[in-house]
């Protein structure tokens, strides 16, 4: 099933941007009268009929709309420190979107080697991943923030807040992420994953004071991006 | 922790090959008398003291050996059809090794676009992944076989045998992989993951007749390599 993506759907008219229009008309050779399926990135799938088949700007008439198309029964926000190698982060984002993800925040920790992060590439990757995995919602990518600011920003709210680190805080032993998720009755989950150098003690302590539950991801020693995807899979299986 | 890999450990003497020796002496500047940790790829970690610090061939005396170092409490054999893009398969293999995997068999299905597969690159990737994730066992990579031959080859044995495909066989509805694994009391698991074009009906029927249980991986539509890694995560969480 071929999906198009448009952020310009209004008053029963759907417009594709230049890239999508070119793909629609030049590559897939769609013409006026053809039916196409378009996601708005916010969770709705639109079935449309092409009225203008210009490769520069396709216009289509909305025939029907399906909300929550390809959605999952929970809301997962992954706050993950950028990896030294950017491909690994992009790989995580693509796979997480396929499995089930709603929001990504790149967080910069005290031990983060990589302190700058461009979100534009990631947004493109997530649009393709959502189309590829038949989801009408494209995960939101937030601008990078420091770990401490992220903890402060999530102080309010009903979400289950988890932080995964590799050391042991005596007063707050880490729990198995699977068990913590099994106990959770709500639908909103936030998981913080640290950089290659792990979270700092100060970051961990601030998180615990702010209501984050310290978790581990099992016995295996996982890279940042693998740990992040494993947490995404844990949430997915919990709601399977 | 820096790990070296050697398949030449005998009579209390451990020898590193040229690459590992160069890395040990030139990059890490180890000298005679230094202690190093070496995995044999079969599950044992050796602590050794360097006796010859030649960059062409390091020799070390074995001080102690620890069997089952970094092992997991199950045995997972993933039989996965090669992806069109080889990077995706290599990525799966690396991540699966980090999480927990024992054996990979590239299987060629009737709908496989990619029908040839070189295992040599994969073996190198798995050695690095095992070292990186602190496991003394490196997953075995088998030579590619056809899906039907793989099914015949696994006819004997005690393993839980699962096949994941996307269509529905009326007489054998697919079950949730998580539930099937939860019921399983044994430790050995085999999972077959099909190509982009899925398994053929004939392959699925042969698998079912041969004791494979048809499973699905939840509501998300996953790429071959993502489906394979999700199955690896399912086994990991089941034994967490």
Q: What CATH code is carried by the domain that includes residue B50? A: 2.40.240.20
pLDDT of B115-162, one tens digit each? 889 999 999 999 999 999 999 999 999 999 999 999 999 988 899 999
Residues B35 and B122 in one domain: no
Chain-chain contact of A178 with B237 (C-beta, under 8 angstroms): yes
Q: What average pLDDT does this structure show over B56-73?
A: 97
For A175, which residue in chain B has the nearest alpha carbon? B240
The rounded distance, in Å, linking the Cα atoms of A93 and B79 is 25
For B134, which residue in chain A has the nearest alpha carbon? A221
Cβ of residue B118 closer than 8 Å to a chain A Cβ = no
Q: Which residues does chain A have within 8 Å of residue B39's beta carbon, measured at their own beta carbons?
A: none
Indicate the residue of B70, B226, B236 with minimum beta-carbon distance to A98.
Answer: B226
For B239, which residue in chain A has the nearest alpha carbon? A218
Percent of chain A with pLDDT over 90: 93
Residues B113 and B204 in one domain: yes
Percent of chain A with pLDDT over 70: 100
Please state the φ and ψ torsions of residue A80, each to the nearest 5 degrees: -125, 130
The pLDDT of residue A172 is: 84
Total domains, chain B: 2
Residues A80 and A44 in one domain: no
Q: Which residues does chain A have within 8 Å of residue B218's beta carbon, measured at their own beta carbons?
A: 236-237, 240
Final residue in a domain of this structure, among A67, A86, A103: A67
Put simply, the chain A residues between 170 and 199 with a CB less than 8 A from any chain B CB are 176, 178
Averaged confidence pLDDT in chain B:
95
Final residue in a domain of this structure, among A24, A40, A67: A67
Using alpha carbons, list the distances in angstroms from residue A216 to A149, A164, A234, B124, B135: 23, 6, 12, 29, 18
Q: What average pLDDT does this structure show over A6-22?
A: 97
Residues B112 and B216 in one domain: yes
Nearest-CA distance B229 → chain A (Å): 9
The pLDDT of residue B169 is: 79
The pLDDT of residue A130 is: 96
Split at pLDDT 50, 70, 90, the class of A167 is confident
Q: Say which CATH number the domain at A132 has.
A: 3.40.1280.10
- Which of B192, B193, B191, B202 lies closest to B169 in space, CA to CA? B202
Query: Given a cut of 90, is residue A170 above it in pLDDT?
Result: no
Q: What is the pTM of this model?
A: 0.94
The pLDDT of residue A34 is: 97
If DSSP codes are grouped into helix, strand and coil, which group holds residue B20?
helix
Query: Given a cut of 90, is residue A168 above it in pLDDT?
Result: no
Final residue in a domain of this structure, among B51, B67, B83: B67
pLDDT of B160-214, one tens digit each? 999 999 888 778 899 999 999 999 999 999 999 999 999 999 999 999 999 999 9
Cα distance between the two ends of chain B: 24
The pLDDT of residue B170 is: 79
Q: What average pLDDT does this structure show over A63-77?
A: 96
Q: What average pLDDT does this structure show over A180-201?
A: 95
Nearest-CA distance A132 → chain B (Å): 8
Predicted complex ipTM: 0.93
Residues A133 and A52 in one domain: no
pLDDT of B82-110, one tens digit each? 999 999 999 999 999 999 999 999 999 99
Residues A125 and A201 in one domain: yes
Range of the structural domain that residue A81 is part of: 75-238
Residues A145 and A221 in one domain: yes
Averaged confidence pLDDT in chain A:
95
Residues B128 and B219 in one domain: yes
Residues A55 and A95 in one domain: no
pLDDT of A194-238, one tens digit each? 999 999 999 999 999 999 999 999 989 999 999 999 999 999 999
Chain-chain contact of A220 with B236 (C-beta, under 8 angstroms): yes
Q: Which residues are A146's β-sheet partners?
A: A108
Residues B136 and B159 in one domain: yes
pLDDT of A41-62, one tens digit each? 999 999 999 999 999 999 999 9
Chain-chain contact of A95 with B226 (C-beta, under 8 angstroms): yes
Nearest-CA distance A166 → chain B (Å): 13
Q: Which residues does chain A have within 8 Å of residue B240's beta carbon, measured at their own beta carbons?
A: 176, 178, 218-219
Contact A148, A203 (CB under 8 A): yes
Residues A121 and A198 in one domain: yes
Nearest-CA distance A3 → chain B (Å): 14
The pLDDT of residue B167 is: 87
Cβ of residue B166 closer than 8 Å to a chain A Cβ = no
Residues A141 and A194 in one domain: yes
The rounded distance, in Å, linking the Cα atoms of A235 and B231 is 14
Q: Which residues does chain A have within 8 Å of residue B176's beta carbon, measured at their own beta carbons?
A: 240
Nearest-CA distance B240 → chain A (Å): 6
The pLDDT of residue A70 is: 95
Write the DSSP assignment of chain A as a string of letters. Answer: --EEE-SEEETTEEE--HHHHHIIIIIS---TT-EEEEE-BBS-EEEEEEEEEETTEEEEEEEEEETTTT--SSEEEEEEPPPSSHHHHHHHHHHHHHH--SEEEEEE-TT-S------HHHHHHHHHHHHHTT-SBPPEEPPPEEHHHHHHHTSSSS-EEEEE-SS-BTTB--EEHHHHHHH--SSEEEEEE--TT---HHHHHHHHHTTPEEEE--SS---HHHHHHHHHHHHHHHT-
């Amino acid at each position: 099933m071929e999906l198009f993506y448009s952020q310009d759907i209004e008053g029963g008219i759907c417009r594709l941007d230049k890239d999508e229009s070119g793909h629609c008309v030049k590559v897939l050779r769609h013409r006026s009268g053809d039916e196409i399926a378009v996601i708005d990135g916010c969770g709705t799938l639109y079935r449309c009929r092409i009225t203008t088949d210009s490769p520069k700007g396709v216009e289509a008439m909305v025939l029907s709309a399906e909300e929550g198309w390809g959605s999952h029964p929970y809301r997962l926000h992954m706050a993950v420190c950028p990896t030294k190698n950017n491909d690994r982060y992009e790989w995580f984002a693509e796979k997480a979107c396929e499995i089930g993800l709603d929001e990504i925040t790149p967080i910069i920790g005290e031990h983060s080697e990589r302190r700058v992060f461009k979100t534009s590439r990631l947004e493109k990757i997530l649009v393709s991943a959502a189309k590829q995995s038949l989801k009408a919602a494209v995960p939101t990518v937030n601008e990078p923030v420091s770990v401490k600011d992220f903890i402060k920003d999530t102080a309010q709210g009903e979400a289950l807040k988890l932080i995964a680190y590799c050391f042991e805080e005596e007063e707050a032993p880490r729990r198995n992420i699977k068990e913590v998720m099994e106990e959770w009755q709500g639908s909103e989950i936030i998981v913080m994953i640290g950089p290659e150098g792990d979270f700092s003690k100060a970051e961990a302590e601030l998180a615990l004071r702010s209501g984050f539950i310290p978790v581990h991801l099992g016995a295996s020693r996982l890279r940042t991006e693998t740990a992040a995807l494993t947490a995404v899979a844990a949430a997915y299986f919990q709601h399977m």
